[in-house]
Structure 1
Amino acid sequence: MVQIMGHHSPFSAKQAESALVELHARYSKKLLGYFIKMLNKDVDLAQDFVQEIFLKLLEKKHLFDPDKKFYSWIFTIASNMCKTAYRHHGKTVSLHTETIHHSVLGESELEKNLFLKALQTSIDNLEHPHKTVFVLRYLEHFSLNEIAEITDCSLGTVKSRLFYATKKMTDQLKPYDPSFETTLFKMI
């Protein structure tokens, strides 16, 4: 029996190390991507957070509920880490006020790149709670119920935050809507 951080484990030290290596292999890339999105593309900080989360797993392993998905649990910890960073450092995203010129998505690679840049800026500009549910839903592909569990919010709150996030983003990205062009110069 091995003792890890004051807790006895029925696993040998080699088995515990092997399990941690397997968890790291399975989840580190996904967590890194999540942290990069949530921490304004600060790769160094995101990498630090990935390392820190695996230390937290060791410290908080007794809090894991085997009736729940491990994937949801680890993202709950990740979400809380981002929330704490946001609270302690204020907005970790810089608000870009650059003007986005009207463009209609077509075959042009330039137009697509402009749209993708505007989309990323739009995500970055969301308030932290809205950004969290948006990233978890549309970039990490969690279900609404999983997001409610991860963020410790009601399902209604998750839906409300998604609604406001998508509404704000839709307003910011309106110049990229092909139907916008037909109404932009219409005579009243």
Structure 2
Amino acid sequence: MCSASPDSIRSLRSRDATNFSRRALYLMEEEELDRIAVDRCLQGDVDAFGVLIERYQRPVFNTVLHMVGDAEDAREVCQQAFMKAFEHLASYDRERKFFSWIYRVAVNESINHLKARKPHETLDERLQHPRANPAERFEELEEWTHLHEAIMNLEPNYRAVVILRHFVHFSYNEIAEILNLPEKTVKSRLFTARQQLREALEAKGHGHQ
């Protein structure tokens, strides 16, 4: 087994520090560009908001798509989210990242959309992708329907962390930033939400044995 020399270790640490610094600098530059665009927009330059839309449209759309499960619905929710963000831009807290704020708006719009959507609309979408085995397809649809119902029955605060963690796959830190919560609160809500979902599914006969 070969061991690394002190010089090679120092070199590796130096490269890691350099890469970290570049990443930090990139994020700082992105945040500064966001602030400039927001300032220009608030000063009457409507086109400046187009810069923000261009920068965040794809990642926000992907997040909303994971949450609502339908591309057409996701486009509608995204449009509503960006319109609401534009209308309420003056209320944006400039001390926070624009990234977190626009995601928060999109998450709230997605939740509102899910609350208003009729259950059969999602069920119909799943029926468009049948499995070869009808019995297996029915069982999967039944399980998914109960899960969807259980998620929809969660209080909005719990529903949001479940969607962001398990459907969009954000980290705890990212969820905390988006929802403007301490990370420990995110973990606590997720723990409670998982318990409630488990109990709801067990009541329907779909819990783990």
Q: Percent identity?
A: 28
Total equivalences in the alignment: 152
Given the alignment of the two structures, is residue 152 of structure 1 paired with residue 180 of structure 2, yes or no? yes
Shift of the alpha carbon at 1:16?
6.2
Residue 141 (structure 1) aligned to one of 154, 158, 169: 169
User: 1:134, 1:162 within 8 Å by CA — same for their partners in 2?
Assistant: yes
Given the alignment of the two structures, is residue 110 of structure 1 paired with residue 138 of structure 2, yes or no? yes
TM-score, with length taken from structure 1: 0.59
Structure with a larger share of its residues in helix: 2
SS at match of 1:126: coil
Matched residue, 2:81: 53
TM-score, with length taken from structure 2: 0.54
User: 1:94, 1:125 within 8 Å by CA — same for their partners in 2?
Assistant: no
Map 1:29-44; keep pairs closer than 5 Å: 29-34=62-67, 36=68
Q: What RMSD in Å do the two structures reach over aligned CA positions?
A: 4.0
Shift of the alpha carbon at 1:21?
4.3
Given the alignment of the two structures, is residue 28 of structure 1 paired with residue 61 of structure 2, yes or no? yes
Residue type of the alignment partner of 2:179: T
Shift of the alpha carbon at 1:81?
4.9
Q: Which protein shows a greater Rg?
A: 2
User: 1:148, 1:154 within 8 Å by CA — same for their partners in 2?
Assistant: yes
User: 1:32, 1:50 within 8 Å by CA — same for their partners in 2?
Assistant: no
Shift of the alpha carbon at 1:163?
0.8
In 1, the alpha carbon distance for the partners of 2:183 and 2:52 equals 33
In 1, the alpha carbon distance for the partners of 2:104 and 2:157 equals 13
Which structure 1 residue ranges, 5 or more long, are not aligned?
96-106, 180-188
The alpha-carbon distance between structure 1 residues 61 and 23, as it changes in their structure 2 partners (threshold 3 A), is farther
Q: Deviations over 1:29-76 (max 9, x none)?
A: 533553x37xxx9x77x7654223223444528947698472x33212
The alpha-carbon distance between structure 1 residues 113 and 146, as it changes in their structure 2 partners (threshold 3 A), is same
The alpha-carbon distance between structure 1 residues 68 and 21, as it changes in their structure 2 partners (threshold 3 A), is closer
Tell me: higher relative CO, structure 1 or 2? Use CA pairs within 8 A at least 6 residues apart: 1
The alpha-carbon distance between structure 1 residues 26 and 66, as it changes in their structure 2 partners (threshold 3 A), is farther
